[in-house]
Amino acid sequence: MCAFVAVHAGAGTHSHKTEDVCLKAVCKSKGDIIEAVKELENDFRTNCGFGSNLTFGGHVECEAAFASSEGHVFGAVGVVSRLRNPIEVAAMVAKEQSCIDKKFVLPTVLVGQGAEDWAQKRGI
């Protein structure tokens, strides 16, 4: 299987240290894409998760998305402030897509308080 990791560290100039963080996260995860993104979300030097730039109001608001060609699933979260690792929730949203009757379509994008409540009900 082939994996693809796209890292958007925000606009502007970035140091080579940020590049190193990305490479180390992928290597440390041993091919587990969710773990690689969690490493990035947990590092203050990246513009995601814990290290996200603040809004004008001084708060962190994160987005994360996960897509897989296996089962053709997609999941995303946006405008979340209380989730340590938004990628976990995005991946779970995608995973739930493959667990339903194909006659129905579950939400693929959850945002704000609703996304945080959804994650909490599932133990994240």
For the chain, the domains span 16-121
Count Cα atoms within 13 angstroms, Cβ side, for 42. Answer: 10
Q: Are 116 and 80 within 8 A, CB to CB?
A: yes
Reported as a single tens digit per residue, the pLDDT across 101-116 is 767 778 999 999 999 9
Single-letter amino acid code for the residue at 99: C
Residue 113: phi and psi, rounded to 5, are -55, -40
Q: Which residue positions in the chain have pLDDT lower than 70?
A: 1-14, 102
pTM of this prediction?
A: 0.83
Q: Is 113 helix (H, G, I), strand (E, B) or coil?
A: helix
Question: How much is the CA Rg of the chain, to the nearest whole Å?
Answer: 15
